[in-house]
Structure 1
Amino acid sequence: MAKDTQVEMLTGPELLQKVKELEDHSKEEKAKACGYYTLTKSGNSRVNMMKFMNALIEAEGIQLDGSQNGNGRGGRNASFRITVQSNGNLLIGSAYTKQMNLKPGDEFEISLGRKHIRLKQLSANGEMLTDEDE
């Protein structure tokens, strides 16, 4: 095949349709035709079969990981792990704040343990919330 430009990776119904059109081709040829390849420095193409197969599974609507939040929709699930950033800050992502129904301006008291950091949510007047308040 002549040097070609990278094809956009197909997903969803477009991916399924293209695979059906190429039913008499090999898996590698299908993956490449659907855009699941990269070009090496030497100009050769390297097919990414794992990405292709995962895209096919997702396009078929199959959930291998299961749904943790029970709403049946895909997307990332919070891992309950964060990493210290290069500037020394801890950033708690929106997946956590959405799951806890937090709003901009909510305040917390930070208490440091020997091996943990605990955040205690404060009410609007600065008092700690109890389980009954939440």
Structure 2
Amino acid sequence: MLTGSDLLAKVKELGDISKSELVRECGYVSTKKDGSERINFTAFYEALLSAKGVNLGIDSAGRGTGKGGRKLSHTTKVQFNGNLMVGKAYTAMLDLKPGDEFEIKLGNKQIKLIPLGGEKESSTEV
């Protein structure tokens, strides 16, 4: 995936092509579990805005802000029905999409989510 000045140069070089082809040519594609292609428009547009110097509320450590500029709390609690909420800001930071599946591994007072069938090698700890 192209970023920064390389991304801006490629967009300028490609000129007047379809949005899908532009995003694809800049490397913002991934493969779904069924083998089909997913074009990552959001990641492309975020990278493009960043390359143009627009701050999207993400600091150098990759932490974003929620609505109203609130900072992510990095804490959560078990809800009344036993569910544990992770939150959209965190799933967005990890580029998780609806339908992504994980194996749940329990450790000593910890939960690890391991992506199934994906290219991601590292586990996501919650």
Normalising by the residue count of structure 1, what TM-score does the alignment of the two structures yield?
Answer: 0.45
Q: Which has the higher helix share?
A: 2
Specify the structure having the higher radius of gyration (Cα).
1
